[in-house]
């Protein structure tokens, strides 16, 4: 089942679902967040809960997308309680671009193993532990709270001070935290983990700066297990014409970590198990237009799609105006 949320003509949030047929409104669901929390509190699966509520009128999801009425597939009433985070160097082949960005030479000119390659090797050797055991922890980064989340179809805003504005096509896990602090996975969705790769390339310690950018995810959430072999496409359109396109792979068959291991190392921190919070955790990628020398411009459109996830995730790029910030003493 795929679920998403839209604004109807009366500006009311509607939760919609499809399972191989028409897209229909889930009766009585005020939002995906409220539906997920109800499922967590009642111990009912989302599919079963949705079927119990029943389905109403059909919705043209493509038309809603074109009208700008698709929302992020989950949000929180207080954006400060939605966390955008991610992990990198998790996919087979994902170290190549990062390694080239962070090359360093020894005094005699021979290349040494970079921190990126060390981290990648750690994942290859210990990222898929036996059931019941804990594997090596991955790289981890923070992107911001719900104020940084951009709905499908809306513009990704790159700060005026940014050196680059590049896409990262990824699968993300969507989670809510139950009243007792237990994380519940809602499902999986496409995401654009939008980053500044030039800033990151200056120095690996600038990674944190490079990730504090918008992110978009959706439009639909896949309920259930993540397919082991996800195959999709990432492309950039400029003036309506294809500028760049490349396939991307995800799913555990193409990863050096299990999803369970990545989830454990995120939620092992009590700060990420606060009741009622929402987490969007992105699992990494091995495909970047930046690696192919693409320099994006305002007006470019990023498009990420994979058949298991329904509609493509599409966002134009905008550059923010410069902002002068002055701190005032109290």
Report how many domains make up the chain: 2
pLDDT tens, 180-208? 999 999 999 999 999 999 999 998 899 99
148, part of any domain: yes
**Looking at residue 99, what is its pLDDT?**
53
Q: Strand 156-158 to strand 313-319: parallel, antiparallel, or no bridges (unpaired)?
A: parallel
- What is the residue range of 209's domain? 77-319
In a domain, 326, yes or no: no
Q: Is the pLDDT assigned to residue 104 strictly greater than 90?
A: no
CA distances from 228 to 237, 251, 285, 308 (A): 29, 4, 15, 11
Whether the per-residue pLDDT at 114 is higher than 90: the answer is no
pLDDT band at residue 103 under the 50/70/90 scheme: low
Say what percent of the chain tops pLDDT 70. Answer: 94
* Residue 92 pLDDT: 84
> Average pLDDT, stretch 64-83?
97
Q: Does the bond joining 135 to the residue before it have cis omega, within 30 degrees of 0?
A: no
Classify residue 327: in a domain, yes or no. Answer: no
What confidence score (pLDDT) does residue 101 get?
A: 47
* Interaxial angle between packed helices 32-42 and 46-53, expressed in degrees from 0 to 180 and rounded to the nearest 10: 110
Q: H-helix or E-strand containing 150? A: strand 149-150
Q: Let me know whether 50 and 160 are in one domain.
A: no
Show which of 48, 71, 94 is a domain's final residue: 71
**C-alpha radius of gyration, the chain, whole number:** 20
pLDDT value of position 253: 94
> Is residue 284 pLDDT above 80, yes or no?
yes
Name the DSSP letter for residue 114: P
pLDDT tens profile 260-279: 999 999 999 999 999 999 99
Task: Assess contact for 236 and 302: CB atoms under 8 A.
Answer: yes
Residues 58 and 116 in one domain: no
Q: What percent of the chain is modeled with pLDDT above 90? A: 86
Residues 223, 75: Cα–Cα separation, whole Å:
16
Query: What pLDDT is attached to residue 213?
Result: 97
| Structure-block tokens of residue 282 | 């992105």
Residue 100 has pLDDT above 70, yes or no: no
Any domain includes 328: no
Res 113: pLDDT: 72
Residue 57 lies inside a defined structural domain of this protein: yes
pLDDT tens string 127-166:
999 988 999 999 999 999 999 999 999 999 999 999 999 9
Q: Specify the range with the lowest mean pLDDT, choosing from 99-108, 187-196, 215-224, 266-275.
A: 99-108
Question: Are 48 and 82 in a shared domain?
Answer: no
- According to the model, what pLDDT value does residue 116 have? 82
48 and 86 housed in the same domain:
no
Last residue of a domain, one of 43, 71, 99: 71
């Amino acid at each position: 089942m795929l679920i998403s949320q839209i604004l109807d003509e009366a500006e009311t949030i509607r939760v919609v679902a499809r399972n191989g047929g028409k897209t229909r409104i889930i009766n009585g669901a005020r939002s995906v967040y409220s539906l997920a929390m109800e499922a967590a509190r009642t111990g009912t699966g989302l599919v079963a809960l949705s079927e119990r509520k029943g389905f109403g009128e059909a919705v043209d999801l493509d038309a809603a997308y074109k009208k700008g009425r698709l929302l992020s597939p989950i949000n929180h009433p207080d954006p400060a309680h939605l966390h955008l985070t991610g992990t990198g160097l998790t996919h087979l082949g994902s170290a190549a671009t990062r390694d080239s960005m962070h090359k360093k030479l020894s005094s005699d000119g021979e290349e040494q193993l970079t921190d990126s390659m060390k981290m990648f090797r750690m994942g290859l050797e210990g990222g898929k532990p036996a059931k019941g055991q804990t594997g090596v922890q991955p790289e981890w980064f923070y992107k911001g709270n719900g104020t940084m989340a951009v709905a499908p179809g809306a513009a990704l805003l790159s700060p005026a001070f940014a050196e680059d504005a590049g896409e990262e096509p990824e699968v993300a896990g969507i989670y809510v935290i139950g009243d007792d602090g237990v994380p519940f996975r809602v499902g999986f969705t496409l995401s654009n983990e939008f980053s500044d790769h030039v800033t990151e390339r200056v120095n690996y310690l600038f990674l944190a700066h490079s990730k504090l950018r918008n992110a978009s995810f959706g439009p639909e959430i896949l309920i259930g297990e993540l397919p082991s072999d996800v195959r999709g496409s990432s492309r950039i359109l400029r003036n309506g014409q294809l500028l760049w396109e490349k396939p991307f792979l995800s799913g555990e068959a193409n990863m050096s970590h299990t999803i369970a291991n990545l989830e454990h190392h995120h939620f092992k921190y009590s700060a990420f198990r606060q009741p009622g919070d929402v987490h969007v955790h992105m699992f990494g990628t091995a495909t970047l237009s930046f690696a192919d020398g693409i320099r994006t411009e305002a007006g470019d459109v990023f498009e990420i799609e994979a058949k298991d996830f329904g509609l493509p995730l599409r966002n134009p790029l905008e550059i923010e105006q410069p902002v002068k910030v002055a701190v005032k003493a109290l």
